[in-house]
Structure 1
Amino acid sequence: MDITEKDINHFIDRINGIRAEISKGIIGQKEIIDQMLIAILCEGNVLLEGVPGLGKTQLVKTIGKVLDLDFSRIQFTPDLMPADVVGTNIMQNSQFTFQSGPVFSNMVLADEINRATPKTQSAMLEAMQEKTVTVGNKTHILPKPFFVLATQNPIEMEGTYPLPEAQMDRFLFKLDVKFPSIEELTDIVTLTTNKEQEEIKKITDGKELMKMMDIAKEIPIAKPVLDYAMKVIISTHPESQNSPEITKKYVAFGASPRGAQAIIKAARVRALMEGRYNVSFEDIKQMAYPVLRHRILLNFEAMSENITSDHVIKEIILDAQRKDPHGQ
């Protein structure tokens, strides 16, 4: 599609309206909200990690209301079965009929996804990547748009199962939800204990959201910026000659080609949300963290020295800047 200045202005107005409406129900977390919206406009899945009680579930519900999308919530537990997620064939009038599960929705909240067994977690793999569900010998197409917004508690907490690498790679972003500041905590307590919360209104719908996704895909990216992004991805691989020392020392496995696709898609949306008509080096740097933090697998030495993925990403970006002055 050919986009016009009118299309871009409409996109920016809509995003500002969505941000304002979400802020009525969620105190603080502005960076998390923006990153969630970027992922949604890439039709990507998001993994939210944080200790219980930080409002992760409330954030997803609020976004669902504002975007006016079909919404379903799956509470993952150790006894949850794959059929409880995707659906199953049942006997009806002497023949088998497919009864769809809660995954057949525009927005699926997979709450505490790492509390389910690996067998049930794997039931989400096809849905998250292919946007389809296969039961028996028949494949069913999921509605559009479709994305999974999953929450998980930190792995070290009891009763959790680490997500397999193949499933982690299917999340466009991994976002770390931090504990609120003292000012934000005061506002949260005031909002939730002294009065009724404001009614959350819908700002857009699935049809308009799909148009916004199409607009974002048309945002140009200059070759030097594209090359810079690819250098960042390659630098996550310890076997690469161009990798910095921190990668070779602490990284076991680097990002997949899916990570390269993700950083470009996300950078395009961020550029639009910032009111720009082209992707900048800064967009690549900012999107590197949510795109790569779950795609860089650290070795035992990194864990023993408390080196995090974010620390490695920061050093990779600094190294890329030193090698490419245009990326300053």
Structure 2
Amino acid sequence: MAHVTAAPYENLITLRDRVREEIGKVVVGQGDAVELLLVAALARGHVLIEGPPGSAKTLLGRAVAYVLGSSFKRIQFTPDTAPDEITGFYVTKMGERRFMPGAVFANILLADEINRTPPRTQAALLEAMQEKTVTVEGHSHRLPDPFLVIATQNPFEHEGIFPLPESQLDRFLFKIDLDYCDPESELEMLRLPHTGVTPDMLGELQPLLGVVSLDRARRELDATVVPETVARAVVTLVRNTRAHPGVELGASSRAAIHLLSAAKARARLDGRDHVERDDVRAVAPHVLRHRLICREGTTPDEVLAAALTAQG
């Protein structure tokens, strides 16, 4: 995707509303998911989108890339996808060793069907997602800033898949469960312009941020005030997930950092310069659910409900 000039926005509330409006041109009925993706972009977090086939996971990822006005690459994961397709590799040309960048060298990487590729290839994303660098043949290469991974997976696929390990799941700020939209939204979807079976509106989306404006928005996020009571509520909630009797592995310390960052982004998008406990509670399911390993007979939602109730 080529770099484009983003339209200016007055404040983050306006940005939130315009992002939902723009992406609504091609993805109908998924406003909450759109807002979570914007929160993740502001909070410098990666996102895992899980949903059935045909629920617009890939289209949503592409639309977000267009609206953010950032460089974009997509890789379709398959069982034979090699790690160097992710990170890059060296070639010799005219006697000189040259680095050929892989798919991660973009502001937004759409990793489609991430659970269809083996662990060795999945692991190639780990350093990139956490350190914003890749190491090839002993040489480190910095990734563009910003760098955001939007990964998708189909929970109903059971043959030939490789579930993500806990260490990699913990690197995703959010796991968004995408379901089919309501009947009215599906009816509206049929009214969208199409070329054959494909929505024909991506090229008409208006970029709203761009790299410079996204950096400005992130600086606003960094200046968000976190009251002591809210910080303690974050720690209490995370620790409550570890204390639940139905849990083998609760939320990590990294989860607490991610939870607060997402709450700060939500506060800013709501027009506030400070975080409230309601911000924490609103984003908690999307930040914590995928990090919990529960014993048989217990679900992550049950653990979260108990942890939130105990928090008061």
TM range (shorter): over 0.9
What secondary structure, in the 3-state scheme, does the structure 2 residue paired with 1:162 have? Answer: coil
CA contact (8 A) 1:72 1:108 kept: yes
The aligned counterpart of 2:56 is 55
AA aligned opposite 2:219: D
| Shift of residue 16, structure 1, vs aligned partner | 2.3
Tell me what 2:249 maps to.
Answer: 253
One-letter identity of the residue aligned with 2:69: D
Unpaired segments ≥5 residues, structure 2: 1-8
Residue matched to 1:274: 270
Task: Quote the offset at 1:196 in angstroms.
Answer: 4.9
Partner of 2:308: 317
- Provide the residue aligned with 1:186 in structure 2: 187
**How large is the RMSD of aligned CA atoms in angstroms?**
1.7
Aligned to 1:325: none
Once the two structures are TM-superposed, the CA of residue 13 in structure 1 deviates from its matched residue by 2.3
For structure 1, list consecutive stretches of 5 or more residues without a partner in the other structure. Answer: 1-7, 239-246, 322-328
Kindly provide the CA deviation profile for residues 12-32 of structure 1, in whole angstroms up to 9, marking residues without a partner as x. Answer: 223322222111121011111
The question of 1:13 aligning with 2:18 is answered no
CA distance in structure 2 between the aligned counterparts of 1:161 and 1:152, rounded to whole angstroms: 11
Aligned residue type for 2:302: H
Match of 1:206 among 207, 211, 220: 211
Q: Do the aligned partners of 2:46 and 2:148 also contact (CA within 8 Å) in 1?
A: yes
* Aligned counterpart, 1:146: 147
Measured after TM superposition, the shift of residue 156 of structure 1 is 5.2
Alignment pair present for 1:293 and 2:289: yes
Tell me: CA distance 1:72–1:193, structure 2 relative to 1, closer, same or farther (3 Å).
closer
Query: Quick one: distance in 2 between partners of 1:24 and 1:262?
Result: 30
Tell me how many residue pairs correspond in the alignment.
300
SS of the residue aligned with 1:25?
A: coil
1:215 aligned partner: 220
Structure 1 stretches of at least 4 aligned residues deviating more than 4 Å after TM superposition: 192-196
Q: Does 1:225 align with 2:230?
A: yes
One-letter amino acid of the counterpart of residue 69, structure 1? S
SS in 2 for 1:301: coil
Aligned to 2:90: 89
Aligned match of 2:106: 105
Q: Post-superposition shift, 1:9?
A: 5.6
Check the 8 A contact 1:155/1:162 in 2, yes or no. Answer: no
Distance 2:71 2:33 in 1: 22
For 2:21, the aligned partner's letter is A
Residue in 1 that maps onto 2:80: 79
Q: CA deviation at 1:193?
A: 5.1
Structure number with the bigger relative contact order (C-alpha 8 A, sep ≥ 6) is 2
Deviation string 1:11-55 (CA, Å, 9 cap, x unpaired) is: 322332222211112101111111111011111100000111100
Please say if residues 12 and 271 of structure 2, whose CA atoms lie closer than 8 Å, have aligned partners that are also in contact: no
Deviation string 1:134-163 (CA, Å, 9 cap, x unpaired) is 001100000000010000111653221100
86-95 vs 32-41, which deviates more?
86-95
Task: State which of 221, 237, 257 in structure 1 corresponds to 2:242.
Answer: 237
Q: d(CA) in 2 for partners of 1:115 and 1:257?
A: 29
Distance in 1 separating the partners of 2:242 and 2:137? 39
SS state at 1:123 partner:
helix
Letter of the structure 1 residue corresponding to residue 291 of structure 2? R
Distance 2:252 2:226 in 1: 21
Write the distance in 1 (CA, Å) between the matches of 2:191 and 2:112: 26
SS at match of 2:248: strand
SS at match of 2:160: coil
Write the distance in 1 (CA, Å) between the matches of 2:160 and 2:186: 28
Q: CA–CA distance in 1 between the matches of 2:12 and 2:20?
A: 12
**Distance of 1:269 and 1:82 partners within structure 2:** 33
Rounded to whole Å, the distance in 2 between the matches of 1:217 and 1:295 is 25
Determine helix, strand or coil for the equivalent of 2:242: coil
